[in-house]
Every structure is written in C-alpha cells, then in structure tokens.
C-alpha cells in the first residue's frame, strides 16, 4: 500500500459507514483491496464497514466500486450508493435530480433530494430482484432430507444452513426456513419473533460461509411488526454485523411479499435507522433513505 496522502470523505447511510475516495478529484488507490482492511480498522484506521471508490464512468455519471472491511469486493451496496449519489451531486460532478451510477449490478438510477450541505435524502431504483437459485447463487442442498428447490425461487425452504436446533431458536421464535434473494449480491433471510434474541455474532459467519452459498452470502434475521413494518438485524458478507444494509432491506421487502408476510411497501427498522422500500409488481424495488457526510480527512498510509 502506498504511503502517499489520500484525501477521503467519511459518510454513512443509516449507520452503514464507509470511507469514500472521490476519484473525480483525487487519484484512486492502486490496490484498494489491500487498503480496505487497513483504512476500515476502527482502532488503527479511519474506521468503517469498508472502502468505496467514486470514479468517472463511460456508462453513467459515476462509477462505484465497493470493498468490504476484509478487502473482498462486492457487487453493490444500497446504503453506499446513496452516499455516492450525494457526493457526486454535492461536489458538482452531476446535476441534482436523476443520476445514473454504474455498479456491479449494472446501471442504477438514483434521485437526490438535498436536505443540507452534508445531508441528502436519496431514492434508489434497486432493480428487479434475482430469484433463480443458480443466479443468486444458492446451490442444491447437499442433505437429501431437505433439498433446496432446483430452478424455483427459494422461499421458506427447509435447509440445514442454521445447523441443529439450539436453545436460542425457541427464545427468538425462529422459523429456520430459508428465503434466498439476490439484489445483485446474495441474501439469506430468516424470520423470527424477536431479532434481539438471535446470536448474530456466531450464527452470521456460519451461514455466510455455508457450502450452500458458493459466493458467500449476507445474512438477515427479520421480525414482522405489522404488514407494513419489519425490524431486522444483519450480518454482512465480508464486514460482519452492520448498522444497516440497503440491498438486504430490499431483499427482505421481496421475501416478505413472496412469503405472504408483508405488503409491497414496508419500512425496515435497522439499528442505524429506517429505510423505506417498495416492490412494484411492474418494476423493481425502490429504496429511500438518508446519506450523510461525517467528516473529511487525509490518509497517510502505514
């Protein structure tokens, strides 16, 4: 990793915080995968759930590259793209209104409503959910007693991803069946009566790296408060427990509709704040939430 000075902006969307580099103005790091774990360290670095590069794009008005806190690159981040949109508009790289951002999911359209110099409310067209198991990807269950559906969407499917029943299952009121959705990155969703009773720090990494998910997966436990509101906790692939996950909240909206638990429009309560989701039958999932700058600084390397 180069020791050259690297200007950055620390931003968060509903508490899901990243270190952002403005590649329109400053040179992007040569090895972002190596930099991400170091700069994301909350004790010896800037601190964050990862590193996001905001770059010029030949296809849209900006390009987003996202690296998790472990250095792995992810296709998409819902909270991250809102902050990218705020940055490109607030820095004058794009005009206010609809903005197209190139991501690993493809081109996504966002609409930025400026609230203040360092705060925006951003609506993101997250695109249509991906439900085919091979495209998520989620493999056929190796256990012959509980096969994952082949070709059909994985909705409330009996699996062995959580292992054998444990005491916390009863405390949490867990439904151990899996629903799998991709929003450009994979999500495993489980429903329960009390998300606070889930030992996310131990069960999250177990599910993330389960053989059922060849590209690993994000993991969400969700509590239905009513048909228009859910409460969720997230273990993010490559980052661990996070305050919010925009693609995850979008996947939960889809899973709620597919399982008959929620309406198409829901508010997701996350530890870092609320996100508004709507899955249109004729279009994709729309997500609305905040994007806020925290501070700017210069990273001098190790």
Both 80 and 138 in a single domain? Answer: no
Residue 301's pLDDT is 75
* Number of domains into which the chain is organized: 2
Q: What is the CATH number of the domain that holds 210?
A: 3.10.310.10
Residues 200, 109, single domain; the answer is: no
Pair 163, 273 in one domain: yes
Annotated catalytic sites, by residue? 77, 245
pLDDT by position in tens, the chain (length 302): 445 799 999 999 999 999 999 999 999 999 999 999 999 999 999 999 999 999 999 999 999 999 999 999 999 999 999 999 999 999 999 998 899 999 999 999 999 999 999 999 999 999 999 999 999 999 977 655 556 766 789 999 999 899 999 999 999 999 999 999 999 999 999 999 999 999 999 999 999 999 999 999 999 999 999 999 999 999 999 999 999 999 999 999 999 999 999 999 999 999 999 999 999 978 899 999 999 999 999 999 75
Q: Is residue 222 part of a domain?
A: yes
Residue 27 sits in the same domain as residue 166: no
Instruction: Say if 127 falls within a structural domain.
Output: no
What's the domain range around 205? 133-283
* In-domain check, residue 128: no
* Residues 32 and 112 reside in one and the same domain: yes
Question: Is residue 1 in a domain?
Answer: no
This prediction's pTM? 0.90
pLDDT tens sequence across 181-239: 999 999 999 999 999 999 999 999 999 999 999 999 999 999 999 999 999 999 999 99
**Cβ–Cβ < 8 Å for 195, 212:** no
Same domain, 12 and 116: yes
In contact, 235 and 49? CB cutoff 8 Å: no
Residue 235 belongs to some domain of the structure:
yes
Instruction: State the Cα–Cα distance between residues 94 and 111, nearest whole angstrom.
Output: 11
Query: pLDDT tens for residues 142-161?
Result: 655 556 766 789 999 999 89
Whether the bond into 137 is cis, omega within 30 of 0: yes
- 152 located within any domain: yes
279 and 294 fall within a common domain:
no
């Amino acid at each position: 990793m180069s020791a050259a000075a690297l200007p950055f902006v620390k931003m968060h969307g509903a508490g899901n915080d990243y270190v952002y580099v403005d590649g329109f103005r400053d040179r992007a790091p040569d090895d972002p995968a190596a930099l991400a774990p170091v700069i994301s360290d909350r004790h010896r670095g800037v601190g964050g759930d990862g590193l996001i590069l905001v770059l010029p794009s030949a296809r849209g008005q900006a390009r987003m590259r996202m690296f998790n806190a472990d250095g792995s690159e992810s296709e998409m981040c819902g909270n991250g793209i809102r902050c990218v949109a705020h940055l490109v508009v607030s820095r004058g790289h794009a005009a206010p209104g609809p903005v197209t951002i190139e991501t690993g999911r493809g081109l996504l359209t966002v609409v930025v409503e400026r609230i203040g110099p360092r705060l925006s409310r951003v609506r993101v067209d997250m695109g249509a959910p991906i439900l085919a198991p091979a495209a998520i990807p989620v493999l056929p269950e190796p256990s012959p007693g509980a096969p994952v559906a082949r070709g059909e969407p994985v909705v409330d499917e009996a699996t062995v991803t959580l292992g054998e029943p444990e005491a916390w299952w009863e405390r949490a009121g867990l439904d151990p069946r899996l629903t799998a959705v991709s929003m450009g990155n994979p999500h495993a969703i489980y429903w329960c009566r009390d998300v606070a009773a889930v030992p996310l720090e131990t069960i999250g990494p177990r599910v993330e790296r389960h053989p059922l998910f060849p590209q690993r997966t994000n993991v969400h436990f969700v509590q239905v408060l009513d048909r228009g509101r859910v409460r969720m906790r997230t273990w993010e692939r490559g980052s661990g427990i996070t305050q919010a996950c925009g693609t995850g909240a979008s996947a939960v909206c889809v899973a709620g509709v597919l399982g008959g638990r929620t309406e198409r429009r829901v508010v997701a309560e996350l530890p870092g704040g609320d996100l508004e989701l709507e899955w249109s039958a004729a279009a994709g999932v729309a997500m609305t939430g905040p994007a806020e700058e925290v501070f700017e600084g210069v990273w001098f390397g190790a």
